[in-house]
């Protein structure tokens, strides 16, 4: 029964992932070609996203093809395919981040996109990230103005998503404070094989969660001040700045992840001609470097790279659970924010200052609520599966 659910979901999600760089390029072209005022920030962000995702896809599918070819012809006891699957598992964001942070950001992106496109109700120019006039005549509601707060919102979004990738956190923990290993001194990528500083892994995870605070703060602040006209508040443009930063972080994070997977496989001897020789010793060296199992453990190897909980010494730390609880609470607040943003927009969609008889848009409010339920459910389900999707299965 499960296969009848998994198969169509994987096809749909795979198509959406493949379409991501095309969509980004389309947004860039449409924004540049628009007659209305254009947002330079939107142009740059969509162009960077399209380039990063395109490069990531090229590396990802090329690596898939080479691994499949090498595994089918190689006589090695140690399989490139097994190493490849291990590396992909190590580089995916944690289940908590997928289920809470990434699902919430997707909901916010769709919700704010619908609000931005509602020019008949609110005015504005989508190509300029202009949400129309603010309520009570407080001025324009445009994202990415020339202000320090805009930069702050954007950078927080970038760091929130970027640091959620184990590939990025693992690199920081190795390059900044890792200890070198004597057995890989001669490698061109010896910095990847350093022993990570666990405290930096913890700090990266906590910093990622802390960077999600702003959307919740913005929601509370604007609701307290303008609850009757929430759909016209600056929560729209400020949170959009955070969400677009999130998109850049995801693009960069995935690019770094697939590059790291390819680099580790190259260190293990994978190439287009890998089937002509035995690379058992090289594969064993890479797996031994990634192993975090006890020395007396046999047949039950555990591996780690950029998630603090993968390392035994982390579980012995009295600070780990405090970090984990704080991070989880902050991510739950982001999930609540993504839900309430849609609900509050639906409640105030038809509000007019000079007409108190306007009613709540019930259909839109229900649609926003269903959006949150569907995205959160599927992302939570994906969190227990493989990430990114394995299209070969």
d(C-alpha 140, C-alpha 264), whole Å: 50
| Mean pLDDT score of the chain | 78
Q: Are residues 99 and 376 in contact, defined by beta-carbon separation less than 8 angstroms?
A: yes
Mean pLDDT of 285-301: 60
pLDDT the model gives residue 6: 46
Could you give the 3-state DSSP secondary structure of residue 384?
coil
Of 128-142, 160-174, 252-266, 350-364, least confident by mean pLDDT is 350-364
Task: Retrieve residue 80's tokens.
Answer: 């490139």
d(C-alpha 103, C-alpha 95), whole Å: 11
Q: How many CB atoms lie within 10 A of CB 139?
A: 9
pLDDT (tens digit, 9 = 90+) per residue, 94-111? 889 999 999 999 999 999
Q: Which residue has the higher pLDDT, 369 or 320?
A: 369
> Which residue bears the tokens 């981040």?
97
pLDDT the model gives residue 159: 96
pLDDT at 265 over 60: yes
pLDDT the model gives residue 329: 95
pLDDT the model gives residue 327: 92
Mean pLDDT of 174-198: 68
d(C-alpha 234, C-alpha 214), whole Å: 13
Instruction: Choose the most confident range, by mean pLDDT, from 82-86, 158-162, 264-268, 324-328.
Output: 158-162
pLDDT the model gives residue 11: 45
pLDDT (tens digit, 9 = 90+) per residue, 213-245? 999 999 999 998 888 889 889 999 999 999 999
Could you give the 3-state DSSP secondary structure of residue 195?
strand
pLDDT the model gives residue 84: 84
Q: Are residues 47 and 31 in contact, defined by beta-carbon separation less than 8 angstroms?
A: no
The strand pair at 130-133 and 140-142 is best described as antiparallel
pLDDT (tens digit, 9 = 90+) per residue, 238-249? 999 999 999 999
d(C-alpha 84, C-alpha 271), whole Å: 13
DSSP alpha helices (H): ranges in the chain? 2-33, 40-73, 80-91, 95-96, 103-117, 119-122, 148-162, 166-175, 198-210, 213-226, 235-267, 280-290, 312-315, 320-347, 362-383
Q: What is the DSSP annotation of 248-280?
A: HHHHHHHHHHHHHHHHHHHHTT-STTGGGS--H
Residues of the chain with pLDDT > 70, as a percent, come to 73
Say what the pTM is.
0.85
pLDDT the model gives residue 358: 57
Q: Are residues 345 and 311 in contact, defined by beta-carbon separation less than 8 angstroms?
A: no
d(C-alpha 289, C-alpha 183), whole Å: 10
Q: Is the dihedral of CA 121, 248, 375, 101 positive or negative?
A: negative
pLDDT (tens digit, 9 = 90+) per residue, 1-18? 444 444 454 544 554 555
pLDDT the model gives residue 176: 83
């Amino acid at each position: 029964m499960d296969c009848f659910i998994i198969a169509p979901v994987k096809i749909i999600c795979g198509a959406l992932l493949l379409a991501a760089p095309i969509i980004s390029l389309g947004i860039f072209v449409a924004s540049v070609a628009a007659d209305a005022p254009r947002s330079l920030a939107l142009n740059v962000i969509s162009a960077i996203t399209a380039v990063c995702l395109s490069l990531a896809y090229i590396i990802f599918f090329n690596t898939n093809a080479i691994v499949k070819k090498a595994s089918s012809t190689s006589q090695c006891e140690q399989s490139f395919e097994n190493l490849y699957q291990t590396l992909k598992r190590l580089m995916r964001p944690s289940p908590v981040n997928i289920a809470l942070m990434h699902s919430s950001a997707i909901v916010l992106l769709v919700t704010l996109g619908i609000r931005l496109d509602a020019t008949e109700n609110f005015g504005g120019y989508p190509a300029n990230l202009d949400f129309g006039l603010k309520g009570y005549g407080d001025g324009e509601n445009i994202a990415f103005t020339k202000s320090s707060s805009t930069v702050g919102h954007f950078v927080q979004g970038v760091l929130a998503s970027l640091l959620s990738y184990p590939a990025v956190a693992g690199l920081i923990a190795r390059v900044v404070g890792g200890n070198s290993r004597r057995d890989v001194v001669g490698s061109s990528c010896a910095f990847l094989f350093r022993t990570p500083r666990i405290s930096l892994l913890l700090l990266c995870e906590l910093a990622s969660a802390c960077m999600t605070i702003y959307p919740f703060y913005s929601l509370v602040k604007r609701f307290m001040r303008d609850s009757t006209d929430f759909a016209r508040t600056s929560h729209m443009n400020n949170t959009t700045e955070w969400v677009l930063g999130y998109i850049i972080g995801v693009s960069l994070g995935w690019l770094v992840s697939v590059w790291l997977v390819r680099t580790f496989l190259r260190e293990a001897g994978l190439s287009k001609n890998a089937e002509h020789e035995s690379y058992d010793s090289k594969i064993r060296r890479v797996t031994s470097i990634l192993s975090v199992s006890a020395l007396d453990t046999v047949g039950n190897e555990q591996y780690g790279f950029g998630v603090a909980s993968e390392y035994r010494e982390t579980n012995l730390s009295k600070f780990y659970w405090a970090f984990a609880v704080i991070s989880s609470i902050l991510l739950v607040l982001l999930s609540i924010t993504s839900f309430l943003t849609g609900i509050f927009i639906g409640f105030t969609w038809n509000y007019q200052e000079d007409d108190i008889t306007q009613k709540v848009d019930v259909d839109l409010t229900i649609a926003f609520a269903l959006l949150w339920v569907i995205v959160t459910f599927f992302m939570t389900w994906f969190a227990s599966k493989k990430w990114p999707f394995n299209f070969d299965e």
